[in-house]
Structure 1
Amino acid sequence: MPQRKIKIALVGDTLAYGGAERIHSSLSIHLEQEGYEVHNLLNLNVITYPYGGVLYNLGVHKSTGFSLRNKWKRYRLFRNYIKTQGFDYVIDFRTRSKPLTEVLLQCFVFDATYIPTIHSSELSWYFTSNLFLGKHLYRKSKQIICVSQAIAEKVKATYRYKQVQTIYNPIPIDSIREQANQPHSFQGKRYIVACGRMDSDLKQFDRLIELYSRSKLPKEEIHLVILGEGRYKQQLVDQIAQHQLAAWVHLPGFCENPFPIFKGALYFVHSSRLEGFPTVLLEALACEIPIISFDCPTGPSEIIQDQYNGFLIEDQDFEALKTAMDVLALDTEMRNRIKQNTLKTAYAFDMDVIKKEWLNLLQ
């Protein structure tokens, strides 16, 4: 008799745009390649990333506007799918901030096969806004997976869970390097690059544009390219026009393959005020470019070694960030020296390394 495949449910809000979603995407593909039966359960019908295995898309059942009846319908569909499929493990990539929703799921859907993942130091996004509930929500879960050591320590200190483990976000380095060799629209220009969602002010792209306007870079004809989409994008467009920087600051939107643009940049600049474990920094290192980043909570300090593979700037010191931007853009010798250390750092986070930790967990 052939051995039954282990069945894994990967639960997410979407398969698009974000770091957690990209990890969901990559893990689905690699678990399927390892012989697992993978099911992707999505809350919203938003898919831009590839995936491995079966797709169960609750987003196609979502009504326009708020409807309690529709929410209840989708809850029942989700519960029935989990219960009838008999999954060996359920790995949850969603944000989980709504107390009532999470109580229903924990009481009537999930069991000891459940593995929540935590992707930000803003723990209320994953343990709900209720501290008491957060301390009891995941008592029966098999393991709580955090994407950085700093987040894991914060979870232990805040909620007193013991079954907490760090598994870093993986990246497929060989695939990234292959994709990075494609042509791109900024060839022939000298530029620096940033990347992230524009759905909130977490990435602080408005502050980055303001810094760029006061830096030496425009006078040196070094452009700023910011990749991403979101509801704040138009505000950034207006800001660029106000500073008369349309010729120098570019917002090309979401790029399915950003890696050629990364590879062609002088460096990657990261101005976030909050992170979990920013996979985009690993992707930049895999493209062999240095990084300048705030030492924000959490993640950058577990990736960047100051003046080895980039510059780690005191958190929210914008003047220091501007100085580093000027120095690394104009000091070619320093930039080339730091560049030599980027790829070797990235290999510690390669999918072939990190997936072994997932496979050990799922035995």
Structure 2
Amino acid sequence: MATRLCFVINSLEGGGAERVISNLANHFSSKDCSVTVICLNKAQVKYQLNEQVKIVNLLERKDNHNSFNRIRYAFLTFYRLLTLLKKEKPDCTICFMTSANIWAGLCCMILGLPYLVSERTAPDSTLNQYNKFLQWFVFHIYRKSKAIVLPAFGMFNGFKRIKQFETLYNFKTIYNPIHQFVKPNPGSVNSKPFMLSVGRLSHEKGFDRLIEAYHLLQLRDTDLIILGEGPERTALEAQIAALNLSGKVKLIGFKSNLQDYYAQATVFVLPSRNEGYPNALVEAMGMGCPCVAMNCEFGPSEIIEDGVNGFLIEQDNVPALSLAIDKLLNNSELKKQFSDKAKLINETNSIERISANWEELILS
């Protein structure tokens, strides 16, 4: 009888965690497992899933601003998820991101089903902001899980900042698998050479700092392209206009042909204030794009060896970020070295190697 697996996440809209869960779902479905991906919220699916993978959307949220609707959505999420998991009876439920971890973990505890939880972003942005009661509640859900999977080893110390979590020993580090893109198209995606950054347009991604660093460079013939959507778009557009960078800094939204941008970019920059394990950085390196990253919590220091396969810049130091970009743009030998060394991540983070780690954990 095929192993039954349920993956639970908020949605499959664009994002790093969503890409990882899509890759894992595809991998396990190709291994003759019965795979269901449960999305707490209905949204457009941005990633390609095998036809054998079943997708279930629990809710379509329309108005979550008043207390009545929040209570209603909470009840419906719990009831529908509990009912679905009771029907599916998965051999293991794998949850990604805090809210999905809480709902699915609670349901699995009630039903006596095995489950894994996985935090994908820095805990200072999630659990460390919760009140004491909610932290206590989450602690008991996480304590009962088969494992708390983290994409970067450094995140372990972040969770230990919560007192109750000091006693947890079921943490497991599994890096994100590298996404296998289709072959890049030959046509140019931009009329000029360009620097690239990719991610959600949100404060923690630090695109305001990248735009400031780009402004310091005063480049005439190199544009800055930022791929992604999010709540900071208006603020970033205002910053671009204020610095007279309109037409040079381009916010071009979500693109399905990411491989073309990675392949053609002169430099990839990760300016984040915090991360879990930055997929975009791994993807860029896998495509051989020379990289510069802020040494934020967490992930970049476990991916980049400074001066060997990229530059790692002191957190919050925008002038140093600007200097590192300039050094790389003007040194073709260094760009080639970084490019060649960066491609080794295709081996260390291969879907086969990373999936083997998940298999061991899920099927044990």
By how many angstroms is 1:128 displaced? 7.2
Matched to 1:149, the amino acid is F
By how many angstroms is 1:184 displaced? 4.5
By how many angstroms is 1:112 displaced? 4.9
Identity %: 29
Distance 1:27 1:179 in 2: 21
Query: Which of 26, 30, 33 is matched with 2:30 structurally?
Result: 33
Query: TM-score normalised to the size of structure 1?
Result: 0.90
Distance 2:259 2:213 in 1: 24
Distance 1:255 1:263 in 2: 14
- Residues 56-94 of structure 1 show CA distances to partners (whole Å, capped at 9, x for unaligned) of 11134x453442334323321111001111111010013
Distance 2:87 2:104 in 1: 20
Query: TM-score normalised to the size of structure 2?
Result: 0.89
Distance 1:125 1:88 in 2: 28
Does structure 1 residue 193 correspond to structure 2 residue 191? Answer: no
- CA change 1:149–1:239 in 2 (3 A) is same
By how many angstroms is 1:121 displaced? 2.2
- 1:309 is matched with 309
Matched to 2:177, the amino acid is P
Alignment of 1:1-363 (within 5 A): 4-46=1-43, 47-52=45-50, 53-60=53-60, 62-65=61-64, 66=66, 67=69, 68-96=71-99, 105=107, 108=110, 111-122=112-123, 125=126, 129=130, 130=132, 131-155=135-159, 158=162, 159=165, 160-172=167-179, 175-176=180-181, 178-181=182-185, 183-186=187-190, 188-198=191-201, 200-216=202-218, 218-219=219-220, 221-363=221-363
Distance 2:248 2:129 in 1: 42
Q: Which runs of 5+ in 1 are unaligned?
A: none
- CA change 1:106–1:358 in 2 (3 A) is closer
By how many angstroms is 1:335 displaced? 1.2
Secondary structure in 2 matching 1:83 = helix
By how many angstroms is 1:8 displaced? 0.5
By how many angstroms is 1:161 displaced? 1.1
- CA change 1:124–1:239 in 2 (3 A) is closer
Secondary structure in 2 matching 1:96 = helix
Check conservation: 2:291, 2:338, Cα contact below 8 A: no
Check conservation: 1:112, 1:140, Cα contact below 8 A: no
- CA change 1:126–1:43 in 2 (3 A) is farther
Distance 1:163 1:300 in 2: 24
- CA change 1:196–1:124 in 2 (3 A) is closer
Distance 1:94 1:81 in 2: 19
Distance 1:333 1:39 in 2: 47
Check conservation: 1:127, 1:134, Cα contact below 8 A: no
By how many angstroms is 1:147 displaced? 0.6
Distance 1:169 1:12 in 2: 16
Secondary structure in 2 matching 1:354 = helix
Check conservation: 1:128, 1:134, Cα contact below 8 A: no
- Residues 107-164 of structure 1 show CA distances to partners (whole Å, capped at 9, x for unaligned) of 535x451100011222562587134334323221111111111113443574121111
Count of residue pairs the alignment pairs up:
350
Secondary structure in 2 matching 1:138 = helix
Check conservation: 2:101, 2:118, Cα contact below 8 A: no
Matched to 1:144, the amino acid is I
Q: What do you get for the CA RMSD once the two structures are aligned?
A: 2.2
- CA change 1:179–1:237 in 2 (3 A) is farther
Check conservation: 1:96, 1:128, Cα contact below 8 A: no
